[in-house]
Amino acid sequence: MNKQLATFAAGCFWGVQALFDAIPGVLSTRVGYTGGLTKNPTYEDVCSDATGHAEALEITFDPDKVSYEQLLKIFWENHDPTQMNRQGPDEGTQYRSAIFYHSDAQKSIAEKSKEQLQSRASKTIVTQIVKASTFYPAEDYHQKYLEKRGKKVCH
């Protein structure tokens, strides 16, 4: 089986995980922290807004069943990429919109999709597109948080 990684930040990671877990071709997901400088951050560290990390979702997917382009489409359609460091009631750099690419091909696809979205948007798309760095899995109680509580959405 062919496997690839995709990593997205789109606000609170609980809802993002529930969304992507429902997509055929997504093999597994885990929530965590990436894009910052602090090693092995905790949730409390990240919430301090001092680590530089974003709450993010790492997705393992089968590209023969769901393409990276399809995952990006879902990413764009399910958060507001024009809000700087905020999604819904959540505010801070840890809630920024970001695509963490794992290859030059993903970078190119992400940049093209952002340009296409921007051409149709009335506001500036602030989503960062940056090279994936170390992904620190969040604490166990954050993994599948909504599923464990019988919920599908945060708000």
Residue pair 77/36 in contact (Cβ under 8 Å)? The answer is: no
**Active-site residue identified among 6, 10, 12, 18:** 12
35 assigned to some structural domain: yes
pLDDT digits (tens, 9 = 90+) for 144-153: 999 888 887 7
Whichever domain contains 119, its CATH number is 3.30.1060.10
Residues whose CB falls within 8 Å of the CB of residue 145, separated by 6 or more in sequence, listed in order? 14, 17, 31
110 assigned to some structural domain: yes
154 assigned to some structural domain: no
153 assigned to some structural domain: no
pLDDT digits (tens, 9 = 90+) for 26-47: 999 999 999 999 999 999 999 9
Can 47 be counted among the known catalytic residues?
no
Give the structural domain span for 10. Answer: 4-148
26 assigned to some structural domain: yes
Task: Say what the pLDDT of residue 155 is.
Answer: 59
155 assigned to some structural domain: no
30 assigned to some structural domain: yes
Listing DSSP states for 51-118 in one string gives S--EEEEEEEE-TTTS-HHHHHHHHHHTS-TTSTTEETTEESGGG-EEEEESSHHHHHHHHHHHHHHH
In total, how many domains does the chain have?
1
